[in-house]
Amino acid sequence: MQNFEPQIEKFNNEGKDLKLQMDYTSDRLDVKTAKYAAGYDAVCLFVNDNADTSALWVLSMGGVKFVAMRCAGFDRVDTKAAKALGLSVARVPAYSPYAVAEHAISLLMAVNRKIHIASVRVKMANFSLDSGLLGMDIHGKTVAVMGTGKIGQILCKIISGFGVNLLAYDVFESDEGKSLHYLSLCQHRIFGLHLLFSSQQSL
């Protein structure tokens, strides 16, 4: 929450007619907690908040006019109900695809090389070596990337540097990913999921 304060102060000091005042709560939004927003113009939600029809109705009755999602997804917001109640909804249009793809590679390496286990052991002054810390070479493995949008394409470029056999899956094959070998189903040792949930993608 402290990360917001400097930006709010900067915005308010720019001499604009609109001034922001923000209050924080650790409570997740639902029909029971929506009443806390009474008297506010807007609410700012995250991925675990539940802005269903009932919660939005309570927000609307309390005077809220704007729902801002600080994430890309908005599946937890009943957009039809919001429109009917006259509530505007906004979301983050996109995250840095490089940041997400690089983080996915970091997690892959951490899990494969048991870095989380080794870190705990070192903190306990346990420097013993055993098979519990043994990983595998990524080189030469078959890697399937499921979802070749912006994030998936960048992940493909990064993982290719490990010398892997790269396969891809997507409902819509990307023109930019023409060099990828697309498949419908496959057997592989490693796969990355970078796609939206869809009934068309039940594997």
- Name the nearest CA neighbour of 77 among 59, 40, 52: 52
pLDDT tens column, 138-181: 999 988 888 888 899 999 999 999 999 988 887 777 776 666 77
Sheet holding 190-193, edge to edge: 181-182, 165-169, 142-146, 190-193
Alpha-carbon span 203 to 44, nearest angstrom: 35
User: Same CATH topology for 4-90 and 97-201?
Assistant: yes
Match 């009943």 to its residue by tokens.
78
Contacts of 49 by beta carbon, 8 Å cutoff, 6+ apart = 28, 29, 30, 76
Phi then psi dihedrals of residue 45, to 5 deg? -115, 165
Q: Are strands 66-69 and 88-90 parallel, antiparallel or unpaired?
A: parallel
Question: What confidence score (pLDDT) does residue 185 get?
Answer: 53
Q: What's the whole-model pTM score?
A: 0.65
CATH T-level assignment (fold) for domain 97-201:
Rossmann fold (3.40.50)
Q: Indicate the pLDDT class of residue 133, thresholds 50, 70 and 90.
A: confident
Residue 187 has pLDDT above 70, yes or no: no
Question: What confidence score (pLDDT) does residue 176 get?
Answer: 66
User: What average pLDDT does the structure give for the chain?
Assistant: 86
Instruction: For the chain, give every domain's residue range.
Output: 4-90, 97-201
In this predicted model, which residue has the larger pLDDT, 82 or 6?
82
Q: Pseudo-torsion of CA 55, 58, 60, 63, nearest 10°?
A: -130
CATH architecture of 4-90: 3-Layer(aba) Sandwich (3.40)
Question: What confidence score (pLDDT) does residue 179 get?
Answer: 67
pLDDT tens column, 88-125: 999 998 889 999 999 999 999 999 999 998 999 999 99
